[in-house]
Amino acid sequence: MSGKSFASTGDLGPKKVTFDEIGERLYAYTAEGDPNTGVIVGDDACAVIDAQATPSMAQDVIARIWDVTDKPVKYVVLSHYHAVRVFGASAYAGATIIASDATRGLIVERGEADKASEMGRFPRLFQGADSIPPGLTWPHITFPSEMTLWLGKREVRLAHIGRGHTAGDIIAFVPDANVVFSGDLVEFHSACYCGDAHLQDWPATLGRLAALEPRALVPGRGAALPTPQQVKEGIALTREFLEALFGAAKSSVAKGLSLKECFAATREAMDKRFGDFAIYEHCLPFNVARAYDEASGIAHPVIWTAERDREMWEKLQG
């Protein structure tokens, strides 16, 4: 294959992990643009938001939880269906796995294809892949729009506030601390992955998130945002990224440009502003392909397979 190394197959270096308390008994596990995990410690149990890509990688999260509490992890909340978020769930033996109804539907529709696609794109994130149980990770409980967890007296509100990164994204809001775990609806100095996105809807979903006026926020990738001002910055930056991407696609389609020409136009619009963001080059072909499709009237994202991944990469980045 010519051109840049495929997706993130060349990204093999270790990342520095941080585990920060961003509110009372609320923790952000972050790793320089790799997928984040959130931890909510309640009175009698904990909830984990997103589970890492493999059970062996989840063990590092578990070790850090043990450093701060002896309370068991009762719930694993999946913000969406992507493999890098969910396949570590089996490390939490006995925990109840929770996701939105829409996320379960996406697992049914495209879970197997997505697993093969993601493992091919980003092998470093699947360290210890042999620890993943056979099959897919299925939620035990799903809900259409809102659900409340009680960790003793501590309330955790789960909500599907609109389509964005996927059709099934949910957030976790902890009212007593006014902290939100956003999943990949918000990224901070990391590219938004938009291959399965609903780009027309995503900014309005961010508006509903901003209306909560969180004091702190844990994004899907990038550093935790521990102040209201940083939360606003993170949401605004995510919106700017999305609007630049979809704006270039809409303009390209209106002009009758090809996908390859749209890719060049998107680079012109985005490289200078966002080119140094984590996984920017990795995401770009998949982002442009989805944006071009949506701007062309394809409302439901086309399923990514390992084969389609390689074909699209060669077409646009080759």
pLDDT tens digits, residue range 78-92? Answer: 999 999 999 999 999
pLDDT tens digits, residue range 120-142? Answer: 888 888 888 889 999 999 999 99
Q: Which residues pair with 278 in a beta bridge?
A: 190
Domain residue limits, the chain: 18-316
User: What pLDDT does 109 receive?
Assistant: 98
Q: Which residue type, as a one-letter code, is found at position 257?
A: L
- As a whole number, mean pLDDT of residues 282-310 equals 97
Q: What length is written for the chain?
A: 318
pLDDT tens digits, residue range 143-164? Answer: 999 999 999 999 999 999 999 9
Q: What is the DSSP letter of 298?
A: -
- In angstroms, the CA 108 to CA 111 distance is 6
- In angstroms, the CA 203 to CA 181 distance is 17
- As a whole number, mean pLDDT of residues 168-185 equals 98
Pair 42, 24: CB distance under 8 Å: no
Please name which of 90, 175, 79, 199 lies closest in space to residue 134, comparing C-alpha atoms: 90
Q: Name the CATH code of domain 18-316 (choices 3.40.50.10070, 3.60.15.10, 3.90.320.10, 3.50.50.60).
A: 3.60.15.10
Pair 186, 193: CB distance under 8 Å: no
Q: What is the DSSP letter of 129?
A: G
Q: Which residue type, as a one-letter code, is found at position 131?
A: S
- In angstroms, the CA 279 to CA 34 distance is 9
Q: What is the DSSP letter of 140?
A: S
- As a whole number, mean pLDDT of residues 201-223 equals 98
- In angstroms, the CA 82 to CA 268 distance is 29
The mean-pLDDT minimum among 28-37, 117-126, 159-168, 232-241 falls in 117-126
- In angstroms, the CA 209 to CA 24 distance is 21
Q: Where are the alpha helices (DSSP H) in 90-170?
A: 101-121
Q: Which residue type, as a one-letter code, is found at position 12?
A: L
Structure tokens, 127: 């360290």
Q: Which residues have a Cβ under 8 Å from the Cβ of 234 and sit 6 or more positions away? A: 186, 187, 188, 217, 219, 222, 225
Q: Which residues have a Cβ under 8 Å from the Cβ of 121 and sit 6 or more positions away? A: 6, 7, 8, 9, 282, 309
Reply yes or no on whether the pLDDT at 6 is more than 80. no
Pair 131, 54: CB distance under 8 Å: yes
Across the chain, what does the average pLDDT equal? Answer: 95
Q: Which residues have a Cβ under 8 Å from the Cβ of 146 and sit 6 or more positions away? A: 157, 158, 159, 160
